Amino acid sequence: MQNWRVVLPMSVIFLSIYVESKITIIGLTGGIACGKSAVGHYFKDFLKLSIIDCDVLSRRVVEVGKPAYNKLKERYGNKILQQNGEIDRVELGILVFNNQAIRKHVTKTTGWYIMLEILKEIYQIGFVKKENVMVLDAPILYETKYLEYICHPIIVVFLSQEQLQVERLVKRDKITEEEALSKIKSQMPISKKIEKADITICNDGTIEDMKKQVNKILPQLVQ
């Protein structure tokens, strides 16, 4: 019975999104360390669009005491916890990237609750604040399956050379090249994301280069 209390509101919100055709949810995704978040910040600062950041939501759902937190703690024990009881995202990340079975389990465990948070954000932005355009920043947008059906257009941010991606990831996360490659290989190949994309942004250059590309695609985003 408890599941129906969740499923019914979700269904209503999904139906409302499709019926209310004035709402546009721009999907933003890409490879790790390819500058997706920088593009999102530009949308927020320049276009003043609300951003639904799935990285933020993924942290929210594993806060101490929440259902996803309890399930992860029960499965993996104190080894994924910090001294204050919060999830140690570094330790959990090591488990996830080194073991496909664990990665699938963690994704499945948190995914449901992240989806609920996404729907809450869509409802708040689109139906309470009455904003008809928003951006959904989701690293695993295509992997999640459901999200690509409510997002249009979908923008994929990528780097043309994997080595450049490795170098940026090593610098950003302060990890080895081997660890960086492991993280990159754990994701859907960027070539597949590019094939499915409505719009692509090659982020090999500077911030200014990226902004110029975004400015060129604005007519396709806000009409």
133-137 β-sheet, strand order: 50-53, 133-137, 24-30, 154-158, 199-202
**Whether the Cβ atoms of residue 156 and residue 201 lie closer than 8 Å to each other:** yes
> Was domain 23-49+132-217 assigned CATH 3.40.50.720?
no
pTM greater than 0.75: yes
| Length of the chain in terms of residues written | 223
Q: For residue 8, give Cα distances in angstroms to 4, 17, 145, 149, 151.
A: 6, 14, 20, 19, 21
Can you give the pLDDT of all 223 residues of the chain as single tens digits?
344 444 445 555 565 655 555 789 999 999 999 999 999 999 999 889 999 999 999 999 999 999 999 999 999 999 999 999 999 988 888 888 778 899 889 988 998 899 889 988 988 998 889 898 999 999 999 988 788 888 999 999 999 999 999 999 999 989 999 989 988 988 899 999 999 999 999 999 999 999 999 999 888 776 5
Instruction: Report the alpha-carbon angle 65-60-101, nearest 5.
Output: 85
d(CA 211, CA 111): 31
d(CA 148, CA 172): 28
